[in-house]
Structure 1
């Protein structure tokens, strides 16, 4: 399977297990790997035969700037499901959501969750 990378997307959301995270908000980063057959778009050079990266960004934005949730796992799962629902050409998706400077004891640059989901997950 061929892969398309959409990396370094940045958002501001109100997710987290602590009250102050829901009040103040924080940055979230997203990286998405789309697995698909890129033979046809490579041959036709037609955007209709592939995935519009701007629309992938919009799907991630909808989740990360949307309804607050407690867990980064929930965010990654929702993005994966939305991508598979919206883009029939995608066979599998890997989503990584990074939460920089988490408000937990100790010194951390970030925490991140990465998941991979295949076609069929969007119907669950």
Structure 2
């Protein structure tokens, strides 16, 4: 992957735990390593086809000085998120903040933190079988899109499907979403649970009726056995109400464990 480097941009800022650091300020050195495709800029020799690093330096300084944080960890996170959200061509960023005048009472060259961030692609299963089902699905999508760290990039058709597990309930309306997100998997799960709560989902009967159901199906090509989020979703390949809408938006996506594309898993289940 091509890269753009900015090394040790000097910025006077007001971050630190001590009161004096926020009032008097101090020097910080900011470095960024931006992963992006420079092919178009190289062929066209046009500044509009790349990231103008001169402008970026001014933007970094302005963003860095907007607020005062206790920790440079927070400042680094905010800066990395800012750049990823502003520049859609950035696929990944490493951002380093050095604090040469850190007040720790020992002779050091600097204290520093570095974050490594990227925009992740995830797929969400979405369903409802209570009240106005279509309205519930659309409200959930709207809430996701309203979050600054989530962008809904594809929405499947909605399908009416029979319930699974607990059968004494109404049919479901199911769909699938493709999203881009800066959230880590556990953060995404927590956010989706809050959306369900906001839309008044109650967990009374396992696989029972619900106003909204939001499940992370896939997250990049990650495989995880974390109790909070198992990836890929352990039952997605067994459920047509997942595969059919997912096939609408990502038929050639490869299941990272089964090594089969979504349309192939759907064909297998249909036999």
TM-score clears 0.5: yes
The structure showing larger relative contact order (alpha-carbon pairs under 8 Å, at least 6 residues apart) is: 1
Question: Alpha-carbon deviation of 1:88?
Answer: 0.9
Q: Secondary structure at the match of 2:105?
A: coil
RMSD: 1.6
Aligned ranges for residues 49-64 of structure 1 at < 5 Å? 49-64=49-64
- Larger C-alpha radius of gyration, 1 or 2? 2
Structure 2 match to 1:96: 96
Instruction: Tell me, yes or no, if structure 1 residue 39 matches structure 2 residue 36.
Output: no
Q: Which has the higher strand share?
A: 1
Deviates more, 1:102-111 or 1:71-80: 102-111
* Divergent runs of 4+, >3 A: none
Aligned ranges for residues 66-85 of structure 1 at < 5 Å? 66-85=66-85
Question: Alpha-carbon deviation of 1:16?
Answer: 0.1
Unaligned runs of 5+ in 2: 122-147, 150-182, 184-271
For residues 73-110 of structure 1, the C-alpha deviation after alignment (integer angstroms, 9 at most, x for no partner) is 01111110011111111100110011112101222221
Question: Alpha-carbon deviation of 1:55?
Answer: 2.5
* Residues 91, 119 of structure 1: 8 Å contact kept: yes
TM-score (norm 1): 0.92
Q: Secondary structure at the match of 1:103?
A: coil
- Size of the aligned set, in residue pairs, is 124
Question: Alpha-carbon deviation of 1:120?
Answer: 4.0
Deviates more, 1:27-36 or 1:47-56: 47-56
Structure 2 match to 1:87: 87
